[in-house]
Amino acid sequence: MDEIRMFVNGQAMSGGSLADALDGATFVGSAITAPQYRFYAVRGEFPGLFPVRNDGRRVPGELYSMPYAMLRDRLLPREPAELELTVIELDDGSGSLCMRMRAEAINARGVVDISDAGGWRAYLRRGSSR
C-alpha cells in the first residue's frame, strides 16, 4: 500500500478536534516548515499556511505517514473550504503534503495573521489566557 507524508499544523494534530481522522497513521515526529510561510487563524477555529516570497516564518506541526485512502476518505472531507491540499517545504529541505489557505481566503472576514504566535497550540493557549 502506498504511503504519503502529511504535515499537520492545526486541529489534526494530536489532541485536536480532527486528530481522530489520523487514527492508524504513523506519527513520524514533530516538524517545522521552511521559513517561507505566513500563518493565519480563521475565525479562531482553524489555522492555515500561506506561502510567501518575503517575511516568511517557520511554523511548527506534526508529520505523519499514512495511506492515500486515509487522506482521501477521512481527513480531506473534514477540512474547511478555506483550505486546499498542496506540497510544502520543511526546514530540512524535504517536502510533504499539507493543507494551505486558498489565496481568496486570506482577506476574508475573521482571518488574522498569527505568524508570530509560535504555532497553533501557542495561539490557542494565548487566546484562552486572556
List per-residue pLDDT tens for the chain, 130 residues long.
Answer: 589 999 999 999 999 999 999 999 999 999 999 999 999 999 999 999 999 999 999 999 999 999 999 999 999 999 999 999 999 999 999 999 999 999 999 999 999 999 999 999 999 998 754 4
> CA Rg, the chain, in Å?
14
pLDDT at 3: 94
122 three-class SS: helix
pTM of the entire structure? 0.94
Q: 3-125: what fold? A: Hypothetical upf0131 protein ytfp (3.10.490)
* Residue found under cell 477555529: 45
CB-side neighbour CA atoms (13 Å) of 71: 20
**Cβ contacts of residue 69 below 8 Å, gap of 6+?**
none
Domain extent listing, the chain: 3-125
pLDDT at 130: 45
